[in-house]
Chain A
Amino acid sequence: MSERAQLLLELADDELILGWRNSEWTGIAPFLEEDVAFSSIAQNEIGHARALYDLAAVELGTDADALAFDRKPEEYRCAQLVQLRLVPDWAQTIARHVLYETADALRIAALKEHDDAELAGIAAKVEREEVYHRLHAEMWLERLRNEARYTEAVDELWPYALGVLEPGLRPALAERVGRPQVQAVERSAPGEEFAALWEEMTMVRRSAPVGAQW
C-alpha cells in the first residue's frame, strides 16, 4: 500500500470512528438543541470519512463501504483518541471534541499545502466544514473550561490527543492547547475497545455475503 493510501486510511478511519462515537449521543445529548447540532457534526465526520475512503478506493481498487466495513479490526489505522467510548460523560466528550478539532485543524492545514492536488482539494473542503466544528467546540469550551470535570477530562485525554498527530505537528498542538508535550498514546494497532466497536459496526453487514446490497 502506498504512503498516500496509508495516510488517507488513517484520516478516514479517524473520522469514521469519531463520527461513529459521536453518533452514540444521538437522542441522548444534554438538551434537544445540542442533540441536533452534535448529530450534524457526527454526520459531517462520516461524510469526510466517505470522501477520503472514495479517494483511497480508486487507488486500492475497491469502494468506500468495503474500506469502511470489510477490513479486519487489526487493519484499521485510527488514533486511540477516537476509539474511546465516552458516552454518557459530556465533559469527556467535549474535551475530546476540543482536542481533536484543534489537532485536526493543524493536520488539515498541512494537508492543504500537499503536492497532491486531490489530497489538497479534499483537505480544503473538509476545512470549510470544520470551521463550524471548531466554533462549536469553542463555544462549549467557554462554558465548561472552569468545570473540574472538564479540566480533569482534558488531563486524561491529552496524551491521546497528541497521538492523533505525527510527531512533527505535536509541538504546535501543545502550543495551541496551552499544555506541555507529554508521552503520547500512539496510533498502534486497535485494542479491545475497538474490537467491541467493530463487532457492532459490522454485525449487520457481516450477516450477508460480501458484496450483498443494503
Chain B
Amino acid sequence: MDARTQEFLEEVQAGRQVETGDWMPDEYRKRLIKFIEMHGNSELMGVLPERDWILRAPTLQRKLALTAKIQDEVGHCQLIYRVVEDLGKPRAQCLDDLISGKSKFHNVFHYPTKSWGDVGVIAWLVDAAAIISQKALLKCSYAPYARVMKKVCWEESFHILHGRDTVLAMVTGTPAQFELVQEALDRWWPPLMHFHGNPIPAEEDPMFVWRIKSQANEDARQQFLEGYVPQILELGLTIPDPKLRRGDDGVWEYTEPDWDELMAVVTGHGPASQERLDFRRVSRAEVDWVSKVMLPEAA
C-alpha cells in the first residue's frame, strides 16, 4: 500500500468523512461502488416480490400502505444509484450489470412470495433486518452515502409498523389467517438468518476496514435476534429452529446457516433469481424507448 493510500486509510479509521470530489484510493472507490451498487440493486429487486400484492391487497388502507412502501423502495434505489453515478458508474450501466447477473443483490429478494402472510412477514422482519444494517451505515466514511441513509432510515420507519400491523391483524383473525403468517415465517426464517452475511470478524472484512460498514455481520444478526425474536414469540408464532435460544451471556445461539447456500443464492441461483432478472430485462426493454426520448444520459 503506498503512503498516500495508507494515510487515507488511517484517516477514515480515525473517523474522517470523505466527499465526492476528494481524492480516494482506487481500492476504496471500487469497493464503495460495488457495495453501494449492490444496495441499489437490492432496493430495485426488492420491489418485485411485493408488487403483485398491491393488486391483491384486501383493504384500501393496506393497498395504499403497500404501494407507498414499494414507492419508497424505488425512491431509495434512485437515491442510491445517484451516489454510485457520482462515483463514476452511470445508472444505465448499473442496470445492465444487474440484469446480466454481473452484479449482485441481497439474498432475500431471490425468493418467491406465496401469500398475504409473506407480505406481512417481509414488511416487518425483512425490513427490520435491513434497517439494522442501514442504521450502521449512517456512520459510513463516504458522506454522500451516509446522508442518503439518513433519509432512507427515516422513510423506512413506517414499513416495519405497517408490516407488524399486517401480521397482527392476521394473528388475531381466523385460524387460517394465523396459519398464513406461520407458514410464511417458516419459509422466510432461513433467508433472514442469512441476511446479515457470514460471521466474518470485522477486522477481516474489507468493508469494515475502510469504514464503509461500521458493524460486523454477526453483531447485526445478534441485534436482529435480540430485538425481534421476543416480538415474534409473544404472538404465539414458532420459529423453525430448535437450537434458537438466548444464552445467559445474552448471545443468541442458533443452527448455523448454510453459507454455501447464501453464496449460491446471491450469485443468481436462488429459487426466483432468474425469473426476476428475466422480468427486469423484459420490462426494461419494453420501456427503453421512453428513456431514449426523455433521458438519453440515464436510462
Pair A26/B47 contact, Cβ less than 8 Å? yes
Chain B interface, DSSP helix/strand/loop, else mixed: helix
Pair A32/B56 contact, Cβ less than 8 Å? no
Q: 20 additional contacts, CB 8 Å, given A27-B70, A43-B64, A88-B286?
A: A23-B63, A23-B67, A26-B51, A27-B51, A28-B287, A31-B298, A32-B81, A35-B74, A46-B60, A46-B63, A46-B67, A47-B64, A50-B64, A201-B56, A204-B53, A207-B116, A208-B177, A213-B169, A214-B59, A214-B116
With A27-B47, A28-B287, A40-B71 as contacts: A144 and B293 at CB distance below 8 Å: yes
Pair A69/B299 contact, Cβ less than 8 Å? no
Docked Cα-Cα span, A22 to B62, in Å, equals: 16
Pair A88/B287 contact, Cβ less than 8 Å? yes
Whole-angstrom distance between the Cβ of B60 and the nearest chain A Cβ:
5
Residues of chain B in range 72-119 having any CB-CB distance to chain A below 8 Å: 74-75, 77-78, 81, 91, 115-116
The listed residue (B57, B68, B74, B115) touching A27 by CB distance below 8 A is B74
Whole-angstrom distance between the Cβ of B177 and the nearest chain A Cβ:
6
Pair A201/B60 contact, Cβ less than 8 Å? no
Pair B293/A214 contact, Cβ less than 8 Å? no
Say yes or no: is A61 at the interface (Cβ < 8 Å to chain B). Answer: no
Which residues in A have some Cβ–Cβ distance to B below 8 Å?
20, 23-24, 26-33, 35-36, 39-40, 42-43, 46-47, 49-50, 53, 64-65, 68-69, 88-90, 143-144, 147, 149, 200-201, 203-205, 207-209, 212-214
Residues of chain B in range 268-296 having any CB-CB distance to chain A below 8 Å: 283, 286-287, 289-291, 293-295
Pair B58/A32 contact, Cβ less than 8 Å? no
Pair B173/A32 contact, Cβ less than 8 Å? no
Residues of chain B in range 31-73 having any CB-CB distance to chain A below 8 Å: 44, 47-48, 51, 53-60, 62-64, 67-68, 70-71
Whole-angstrom distance between the Cβ of B222 and the nearest chain A Cβ:
32
Please give me the residue from chain A that is nearest to B287 by CB atom. A30
The listed residue (B75, B77, B169, B287) touching A214 by CB distance below 8 A is B169
Docked Cα-Cα span, A27 to B280, in Å, equals: 10
Q: Using a Cβ cutoff of 8 Å, how many contacts connect chains A and B?
A: 119
Say yes or no: is B6 at the interface (Cβ < 8 Å to chain A). Answer: no
Pair B116/A213 contact, Cβ less than 8 Å? no
Pair B293/A26 contact, Cβ less than 8 Å? no
Pair A212/B71 contact, Cβ less than 8 Å? no
Contact partners of A64 in chain B: CB under 8 A: 60
The listed residue (B54, B58, B172, B294) touching A143 by CB distance below 8 A is B294
- Of B48, B91, B172, B286, the most chain A CB neighbours within 10 A belong to B286
Which residues in B have some Cβ–Cβ distance to A below 8 Å?
44, 47-48, 51, 53-60, 62-64, 67-68, 70-71, 74-75, 77-78, 81, 91, 115-116, 166, 169-170, 172-174, 176-177, 283, 286-287, 289-291, 293-295, 298-299
Please give me the residue from chain B that is nearest to A50 by CB atom. B60
Q: List 21 A-B contacts (CB under 8 A).
A: A26-B47, A26-B51, A26-B71, A31-B291, A31-B298, A32-B74, A32-B77, A32-B91, A33-B78, A39-B68, A42-B67, A47-B64, A50-B64, A65-B59, A88-B287, A200-B55, A203-B56, A204-B115, A209-B174, A212-B177, A213-B169
With A29-B287, A214-B59 as contacts: A43 and B67 at CB distance below 8 Å: yes
Pair B48/A27 contact, Cβ less than 8 Å? yes
Pair B58/A36 contact, Cβ less than 8 Å? no
Docked Cα-Cα span, A29 to B291, in Å, equals: 10
Pair B71/A213 contact, Cβ less than 8 Å? no
With A23-B67, A26-B70, A32-B74 as contacts: A200 and B294 at CB distance below 8 Å: no
Please give me the residue from chain A that is nearest to B82 by CB atom. A32
Docked Cα-Cα span, A33 to B81, in Å, equals: 12
Docked Cα-Cα span, A208 to B54, in Å, equals: 18
Pair B55/A24 contact, Cβ less than 8 Å? yes
With A29-B287, A203-B56 as contacts: A36 and B70 at CB distance below 8 Å: no
Contact partners of B68 in chain A: CB under 8 A: 39, 43
The listed residue (B62, B176, B293) touching A208 by CB distance below 8 A is B176
The listed residue (B53, B62, B176) touching A207 by CB distance below 8 A is B176
With A32-B81, A46-B63 as contacts: A214 and B290 at CB distance below 8 Å: no
